[in-house]
Amino acid sequence: MISDRVFHGRLAFQQRVLPAYRVPFFDMLAQSCQSMSLFAGLPRMDEGIANGRLQTANYSRAQNIHIFRDSLYLCYQRGLMNWLKDCDPDVLIVEANPRYLATPSAIHWMCARGRRVIGWGLGAPPLSGLFGGIRQRRRIRFLNQFDALISYSRRGADEYAALGFPRQKIFVAPNAVAPRPSSPIPLRLPQVERPTILFVGRLQARKRVDNLLRACSEMEFKPRLIIIGDGPERVHLQMLAGQVYPSAEFVGAKYGEELKPYFSQADLFVLPGTGGLAIQEAMVYGLPIIVAKGDGTQDDLVRESNGWQIPPDDYGALVETLRAALANLTRLRKMGAESYRIVSEEVNLEKMVDVFVEALNFQRLG
């Protein structure tokens, strides 16, 4: 199954929301299709997701009806069937999430016309609790409706396969938000008196920037700490920094080219909490990474050769890993070079689009 980088058909793509960081991917994918239409709605106000605007793909806005929250969350997308009938696709890609209540109707409509549906998702981690068995059986029935699955990570692919979904119909498209590097790796001095640590992300409690501030205060040689981002925790974090690490620099939210000088001058990129969309961008600038383990998408980016994955909410592990990283700047430079190689050759938007086109063509020929 080798992608020819073009899908000669009409593609419809369903998403709950259209975050700004996904726009480059969708526009690049649209350029590889005969036509592509995206259906997505707006997030809840408190989600902090910046909406994107497509340049190439056609966009239809869903009316998202959000029901309940957290583990009980459900979403109904009003207008899905009208959109589907209007774009009349050869293949439909949907988020492989049974919490989206309109999706089964769309799958049924496609199957009734002998057309294929592909699910795209993080994976299917084991379920537990009182109703774990019932939920697992429901999940299996839901996944078995798809003609193929595209996973964000190898771990996700393994989870789908463990539920009995045919391995040959599972594709791995490592989660990417940046294209292949177009510039050489920034030149950095072999040694610096005070290494620079960089954090980029929304300032939320789950990002655990508080742990990063405290960890820096425990280092024998105090690093320069630059925190880029804004959010509900900013005031609290600045107050905490005044108490435990006054030299921490809060520069606010930065985007695009504004980030370039910060990535270029940093020596180490650290994300102590969940999330991590900025990891790949940091690697484009040749930075080694410390990141908390998450949903598996980090596994394809952060390896022993270019960084460290630490348990989430483990302050001791963060301190120990940070100390080990800063103790050997020569090793950090080598790890940064490996980060640059990974995003140049293995994980980037071009590779991600290639896998999607491969899956689309597999469905077309299969």
Report helix, strand or coil for 36.
strand
Q: What is the pLDDT of residue 93?
A: 98
Using alpha carbons, select from 197, 184, 202, 209 the residue that is nearest to residue 255. Answer: 202
- Tokens found for residue 40: 């997505």
Q: Residue 45: which pLDDT band, with cuts at 50, 70 and 90?
A: confident
Q: For residues 218 and 182, what is the distance between their CA atoms, to the nearest angstrom?
A: 38
Q: What is the pLDDT of residue 295?
A: 64
Q: Residue 366: which pLDDT band, with cuts at 50, 70 and 90?
A: very low
Q: How many CA within 13 A on the CB side of residue 6? A: 2
284-296: pLDDT as tens digits: 999 999 999 876 6
Tell me the whole-structure pTM to 2 decimals: 0.88
Residues in the chain: 366
Report helix, strand or coil for 238.
helix
Give the chain's domains with CATH numbers. Answer: 7-176+348-365 (3.40.50.2000), 196-345 (3.40.50.2000)
Report helix, strand or coil for 11.
strand
90-148: pLDDT as tens digits: 999 999 999 999 999 999 999 999 999 999 999 988 877 767 778 888 899 999 999 99
52-80: pLDDT as tens digits: 999 999 999 999 999 999 888 999 999 99
Contact 89, 10 (CB under 8 A): yes
Give the torsion sign (CA, 174, 171, 6, 19). Answer: negative
Instruction: Flag whether pLDDT at 267 surpasses 80.
Output: yes
Q: What is the pLDDT of residue 1?
A: 37
Contact 18, 77 (CB under 8 A): no
Using alpha carbons, select from 39, 85, 89, 37 the residue that is nearest to residue 61. Answer: 39
3-state secondary structure 101-150: CCHHHHHHHHHHCCCEEEEEECCCCCCCCCCHHHHHHHHHHHHCCCCEEE
268-271 sheet: strands from edge to edge: 249-252, 224-228, 196-200, 268-271, 289-292, 307-310
Q: What's phi and psi for 362, nearest 5 deg?
A: -60, -40
Q: For residues 102 and 78, what is the distance between their CA atoms, to the nearest angstrom?
A: 8
Contact 26, 41 (CB under 8 A): no
Instruction: Flag whether pLDDT at 322 surpasses 50.
Output: yes
